Structure 1
Amino acid sequence: MNVRLRGIYTTALTHRVREAGHDVVAASDPIRERFDADFGHAPHDVAVDTTDDRQGVSLTGDPDDVARLVDCIIPSRDTFAWSSPAPRDAVFDARVTETLGSGAVCDLGETEGFLPFGNVDAHVDVGDEVRVQVEEAAPPWLDRRPVLDGDVRVRAGPATLVRGESGITVDTYDDEAGRELAGMTDLLGIEPPDGWGLRWGDDATDADMGALQTSLERAVDRAESLSLDDDVAAPRRLAAPLATTWLWFGRESRFELDTDRRAVTTTMPGHHRVKASSSDASRAVDFVEALDAAAGDDFPFGAVTDTFGPTTGDYVRLAHGKPDGRLIILGRAEVTDRDPEGSLTLRREMTAGGSYDALDARREAGDVAVTTVKEGRWWYPTVYRDDEGRRKGTYVNVCTPVECFPDAVRYVDLHVDVVKERDGTVRRVDDDELDAAVEAGNVSEALAEQARTVASSLEDAL
């Protein structure tokens, strides 16, 4: 079967799942690196997710597959397993028994659920009967009810069918990729059942045609298997296309999972025991293990940024210090790539108006600035491009050694810089400002000489 795993137990359970002969799909970047494998993006049969309190995991998927997977991943005798009476995606006719400030408590028959008022179109009150679906199951050891929704959906990997809708939508910020995927859907030759609309998740834009076809076929089969008449007769369970089983790990089990993880990567004694306690403790474990794995004389950039940031997807400020003590924020930039050896790639969308400092280029709507910074380096380049990706120029800033903190990239500007115009012309600028800073006592002669040496090397290199 295909298994997707998430959370603090992922490395250990990935090892167990693979040892049992099953395939792991849609793996995170750290898992791909640790196992040196691609894993692929095929739809999953079972999803394994760490619970919010870190005490165990949920397994959700085809009932037979869930039962098989439980047997192969239980680590020790102090693991407990419970099947949920209200698994994710199960459909119920529910009776409202109580209304609270934000929603309604619903009798589902074997158990209760919570229906937020925002998850249902009509007003509900005590005694009302309403058809609902389990949006989020709840582990039995927490004092929390399953969360319900008034819409009925069928999910299969990146494909979701929604009852009462029509047409195709794609949940992505990439409009071009979304339009392409919507057009490709017709090529699959699979029509949703009458009365169901198709929603593709963002991950569908990266999936191949085979994975899309498999996902949509599964979703259609599940939708057609549901028997949902129009008469609501609560409380009763109408359908449960998926099963959810909860595993609670005891101390012995957590240490057994440490052994599995240690077979793959650096793992401190009590790794899962400590991680289960709190998010701060979890980050501390990551840091200790990363330091151990990166033992040496060099600054452990990868270990520090893995634990505290910044990493891909984060936003940081460009904190541009001046020798006279001022701090200028050049804007917030998205980290689009990170090299564990010490580099970050930062992207900023520019506003129109004026021109770029020392470059013969106007600032126009749609311009993008891509900056590459490397921890400890005395300079960094920024490439400006227009809305069609054409280079408008490159500005290389000479500065004190760059530091990449979780919320900001920091340095002090040393005035002298090197620019490269669109036509390839290379110029060195602002030597006079550096000379003035030395004369004013803001920059030492030794520091100024380093800045001039760096600028000369950049000028030759460009």
Structure 2
Amino acid sequence: MSDRDGAGVRVRGIYATALTRLLRGDHEIVQASEPIRGRFDADLPTRPAAVAVETTYDRQGVGVSGRAERVASIAAELRGVGVDAFAWDDPAPEGAISDAAVTDTRGGGAVLDLGDAEGYLPFDRADGYVETGDAVRVQVAAGEPPWSDRAPECTTRVEVGNGLARLVRGASGGGASVDLASLLPTDPREGWAVRWDERADDADLDALGAALADLDERAERLDEALSDEVGAPRRLTDGRATAWVWFGRESRFALDEHRRAVAATMPGHHRTKAHASAASAAVDFAEAVCEPGGEFPFAAVTRQFGPREGDTVALEHGKPDGRLLVLGRGEVTDYDPEGGITVEREMTPGGRYDALGVERRAGDVAITKLKEGRWWYATVYRGADGERRGTYVNVCTPVELFPDAARYVDLHVDVVKHADGTVERVDDDELDEAVAAGQVTEALAERARRVATAVERALR
């Protein structure tokens, strides 16, 4: 799908260069930053954006927000970057307006039942006093990826925007220079006030007029949708469709190749930038002073930012449906500069170990060996007396070792070795179900099956 004759796509964050190259063949890139314009040596216009592609706060992927048909197209394109990329639609998309019920208050805000999702309304973003049992009309101001443990942030203020300007419902005038406002042929819709973004300074009057006309049309539709009184929890408008794309390790290296085509790019550029926020400046410096070459410098990155011996690391166990489960946290007891760590966790008694079928006892420890880029990792469970109680091998997307976490997406199928030496492969049916549900591609599932077969043979 091409949008060459319509509003374009705005790209921001650590993946911007790679995604600009990837998308600009079929989509017009607009509102580009100065570095992006320089790298592409192209006239990338400052026009309204139909879709925004922005890096998530944890740098693990991107959010794609905007017109529904284009969000679906772009999310599908980004999912195709690498075999370990995933995409999920957001049930509470940016800009969606709902009548919500306040179910609880905590942490300086109200927990909301939006009807088909949960939201959070900070008290300083509410118009008036809010307490449990109230009904309130809210708009999703900032979405959250499915792997986050936070609810989307809401506000009682209603607005629409396109990157160049915003219209705010019920606000007073202002927010634009007198000269700029006087040159436009129309005023914003009655009952709405315009707020111009700083990017508007780079746009011509035709683009500004188009931006305001687009917002007026959307504001008119909202006025019609919001004419009723606040009612039971329900969605009133869908706002901008939102999808979330998570990039796995192989996908990050595939994005390196896109970036390398237009700019000096060190091995593991995106993998390192995702590693820690402080690593971004180091990457920029390295690429500015030398022509990068070689392989991803795991040892250099982890020596500087971790994880190292003595650090605490969480096992962040992603699921193909977008959820993130933390299996536990443990101490790094061994560090291999060639790409691996060993993590030891003390287990709490009670229940049984999945698939192994043995009881969890007081004094049990789990010893997990993780290697950067490997499609599996093994955990050995031992009793307080050192007796091996079983081994569990998790098949997953390539492991990435970050300063405070090992991250991957679980691919369901696993292999276990019982204390008596019996080897068993489990959960192939769950992988098949994930493929049928569209959560895992057939190519990724086949890779998982091959890995499980190899592990099973090695353990026998």
Asked if Structure 1 and Structure 2 have the same fold, meaning a TM-score greater than 0.5 normalized by the shorter chain, the answer is yes
Q: Which residue of 2 aligns with 1:255?
A: 253
Q: Could you tell me which of 217, 220, 223 is aligned with 1:221? A: 217
Q: Could you tell me which of 86, 92, 102 is aligned with 2:98? A: 92
What's the offset of the Cα at 1:205?
Answer: 3.0
Looking at structure 1, the residues matched to 291 and 147 of structure 2 have their Cα atoms a distance apart, in angstroms, of 36
Looking at structure 1, the residues matched to 199 and 152 of structure 2 have their Cα atoms a distance apart, in angstroms, of 26
Q: Letter of the aligned partner of 1:225 in structure 2? A: R
Q: Which residue of 1 aligns with 2:14?
A: 8
Q: Could you tell me which of 56, 62, 67 is aligned with 1:57? A: 62
Q: Could you tell me which of 123, 138, 150 is aligned with 1:117? A: 123
Q: Which residue of 2 aligns with 1:245?
A: 243
Does the 8 A contact of 1:181 with 1:205 survive in 2?
Answer: no
Instruction: Calculate the aligned-residue CA RMSD, in Å.
Output: 1.7
Find out whether 1:207 has 2:207 as its counterpart: no
What's the offset of the Cα at 1:68?
Answer: 1.5
| Match runs of 1:74-153 below 5 Å | 74=79, 75-153=81-159
| Match runs of 1:7-406 below 5 Å | 7-18=13-24, 20-74=25-79, 75-170=81-176, 178-185=177-184, 188-189=185-186, 191-226=187-222, 227-293=225-291
TM-score by length of 1: 0.59
What's the offset of the Cα at 1:105?
Answer: 0.7
Which structure 1 segments of 5+ residues have no match? Answer: 171-177, 296-462
Deviations 1:381-404 (A, max 9, x none): xxxxxxxxxxxxxxxxxxxxxxxx
Looking at structure 2, the residues matched to 251 and 200 of structure 1 have their Cα atoms a distance apart, in angstroms, of 38
Q: Letter of the aligned partner of 2:265 in structure 1? A: T
What's the offset of the Cα at 1:169?
Answer: 2.7
Q: Which residue of 2 aligns with 1:395?
A: none
Looking at structure 2, the residues matched to 103 and 180 of structure 1 have their Cα atoms a distance apart, in angstroms, of 40
What's the offset of the Cα at 1:291?
Answer: 1.4
Q: Letter of the aligned partner of 1:95 in structure 2? A: A
Looking at structure 2, the residues matched to 193 and 287 of structure 1 have their Cα atoms a distance apart, in angstroms, of 47
Looking at structure 1, the residues matched to 37 and 196 of structure 2 have their Cα atoms a distance apart, in angstroms, of 25
Looking at structure 2, the residues matched to 252 and 203 of structure 1 have their Cα atoms a distance apart, in angstroms, of 34
What's the offset of the Cα at 1:76?
Answer: 1.3
| Match runs of 1:405-416 below 5 Å | none
Identity %: 52
Deviations 1:201-251 (A, max 9, x none): 222233211111111111111111221024111311100231111000011
TM-score by length of 2: 0.60
Of 138-147 and 193-202, deviating more is 193-202
SS of 2:193's partner is strand
What's the offset of the Cα at 1:168?
Answer: 4.3
SS of 1:169's partner is coil
Q: Which residue of 2 aligns with 1:317?
A: none
Does the 8 A contact of 1:90 with 1:239 survive in 2?
Answer: yes
Looking at structure 1, the residues matched to 229 and 109 of structure 2 have their Cα atoms a distance apart, in angstroms, of 23
What's the offset of the Cα at 1:25?
Answer: 1.2
Looking at structure 1, the residues matched to 148 and 196 of structure 2 have their Cα atoms a distance apart, in angstroms, of 32
Does the 8 A contact of 1:169 with 1:182 survive in 2?
Answer: no
Deviations 1:41-60 (A, max 9, x none): 11111111000100000011
Does the 8 A contact of 2:30 with 2:44 survive in 1?
Answer: yes
Does the 8 A contact of 1:108 with 1:234 survive in 2?
Answer: no
Q: Letter of the aligned partner of 1:271 in structure 2? A: H
What's the offset of the Cα at 1:282?
Answer: 2.0
Q: Letter of the aligned partner of 2:62 in structure 1? A: V
Looking at structure 2, the residues matched to 47 and 293 of structure 1 have their Cα atoms a distance apart, in angstroms, of 31
